[in-house]
Amino acid sequence: MIRMSDNLYTFENEDYKKAYRHTTSHILAQAVKRLYPGTKLAIGPAIADGFYYDFDTEEPFTPETLEKLEAEMRKIIKEKLPLERFELPREEAVKFMEGLGEPYKAELIRDLPQDAVISFYKQGEFTDLCAGPHVDSTGRIKANAFKLTSATGAYWRGNSDNKMLQRIYGTCFQTRDELDKHLERIEEAKRRDHRKLGRELDLFALFDEGPGFPFFFPKGMVIRNELESYWRELHRKCGYQEIKTPIILNEELWHRSGHWDHYKENMYFTKIDEGDYAVKPMNCPGSMLSYKRRMWSYKDLPMRVGELGLVHRHELSGALHGLMRVRAFTQDDAHIFMTEDQVQDEILGVINKIDSVYKLFGFNYHIELSTCPEDFIGSQEMRNYSESILKEVLDRHGQAYVLNPGDGAFYGPKIDFHLEDAIGRTWQCGTIQLDFQMPERFELEYTGADGAKHRPIMIHTVAFGSLERFIGILTEHFAGAFPLWLAPVQAIVMPITDRSRDYAERVAAALNGKGFRVETDLRNEKIGYKIREAQMQKIPYMLVLGDKEAEDGTVTVRKRAGGDQGAMKLDDFIAAITAEKDTRAV
């Protein structure tokens, strides 16, 4: 229990914020039991920005139901019920929950470790199995600063073999102003939802015939190809060579790499000529084989290679989410093989490379140092050494970073880049992973200056992460209004009348000739209607052409975000947008 004497009743205290939101979930459960007494309780934790609770009930939770529950929750808050904690022995706790008609709670108790402390929290007539902590009273929750946001289905314990329950999500804050701002962010996020924009702008989609396997349409392929071209240009300038490795490789390879022990449940398998093969979930083992094709000298290192490699991972259907969580995606994998004295400089180079990527798109970001997990496959000495290298590099770089204990890869620690989008959400995309283990497992070698064989050290790194996911993030970041260089259609030519039709076609041909993606709208519609349509399609430039423009050799320019820009000579317009495209301005 968090008490008044702690003097920490503020959301700046993460423990208090979690307890506050956890208590609100109990208030929701109490309201459900009051209005629908036959409901059985499952679980109801605090989560980022709020809470949820799972219920087993025949009552469908509609928007009207949520409004009734909110009203009942406000009554419970007004009652200022104290939260009282008590403990029971295991068997007594099971009987207690069964007596209350709560089979899910009884199951949870039976599954607890033998030495677990089994605690409950009581508020008025309502009692719930819970480890806590909670605030001291329901009156601590602000009655005007919470909202039940949605109801959805959820399998008991996340297992599709179990019964489907109903989950109610909610959010809560300490002031109404904070709640309103959060709800505005939710609405803005809905407006920017890449799944919605993907359909409306005809970019990409996912179909029931291939759950988790995205389809890209011609306009979406423009964005994808532009990103790939940028990636190739950047990596070429940074001294990388591009490779391509197979999608299917022998199963033994994944045992050797260590992925079998850590990713087997997320892999797809097949038989070829009676042999066992796997569809790759990672690109790095193929990169190991690519290195191993010949003996290298220390003079060849560092060797920087990159691959836009398609990988497949089996995700649970409930975890799939547009382009953000898919089963087939392209990683912009890069691997650097180097000598020990090159490690720090190479990592610094990758940090600067990733920094340039995010600055191009206007992203702010923060860095986390993720240390080795418990299932790290190397020695403790190697673990300490590899972590110390990354820490020293980050200290040299001088940018602030956050320590994230135990979240590294099974083969080594990593530096993660968390970018912030236009509405303040963060996404972990870029990473730099230091690996002493895989070169050892694949027996990679180079000939040193001393003529002896040595083991290279390697870095795994991505900037986009998943290309599909990055496109989803960009779609939401720009709300579908992509900068000129990424926009599927960069300009649309719109004659006011049929008299300007020939001139419109000449303007479009001139733009096409300079490499721009351009469309013409020759429909017999009013110009205002055409402009509105182009705005809906988020086309950066609209060129309105009438008799005067045809006579003067000009174009009247409208910008997607800036409105009417007036008339310009066609050559001047082409020069201006060429500079905008070539600099990849955002």
CA torsion sign, 168 to 173 to 176 to 181? Answer: negative
User: What tokens appear for 119 in the block?
Assistant: 């605690």
**211 prior amide bond cis, ω within 30:** no
**Residue 446: in which H helix or E strand, if any?**
strand 446-447
CA angle (324 as vertex; 152, 371 as ends), nearest 5: 105
Q: Based on the residue annotation, tell me whether 460 is a catalytic residue of this protein.
A: yes
Catalytic-role residue among 140, 192, 304, 460: 460
User: What tokens appear for 352 in the block?
Assistant: 């600067």
Q: Which distant-in-sequence residues (6+ apart) come within 8 Å of 314 by Cβ?
A: 265, 266, 267, 268, 327
Residue 392: CB atoms within 10 Å? 13
Q: Based on the residue annotation, tell me whether 313 is a catalytic residue of this protein.
A: yes
Catalytic-role residue among 30, 123, 331, 437: 331
Q: Based on the residue annotation, tell me whether 312 is a catalytic residue of this protein.
A: no
Decide: 298 and 448 in contact? Cβ < 8 Å.
yes
Q: Based on the residue annotation, tell me whether 335 is a catalytic residue of this protein.
A: yes
Q: Based on the residue annotation, tell me whether 372 is a catalytic residue of this protein.
A: no
Catalytic-role residue among 128, 130, 166, 284: 284
Closest CA to 333 of 474, 471, 463: 463
Q: Give one word for 132, left, alpha or beta, with left for phi > 0 and alpha for psi -120 to 50.
A: left
Catalytic-role residue among 219, 335, 477, 530: 335
Count Cβ atoms within 10 A of the Cβ of residue 283 and give its class: 0-12 exposed, 13-18 middle, 19 or more buried. buried
β 164-172/146-155 pair status: antiparallel
Q: How far is CA 314 from the centre of its chain?
A: 17
Catalytic-role residue among 18, 313, 383, 538: 313
Catalytic-role residue among 414, 538, 558, 581: 414
Catalytic-role residue among 128, 136, 332, 333: 333
Residues identified as active-site? 284, 313, 331, 333, 335, 414, 460
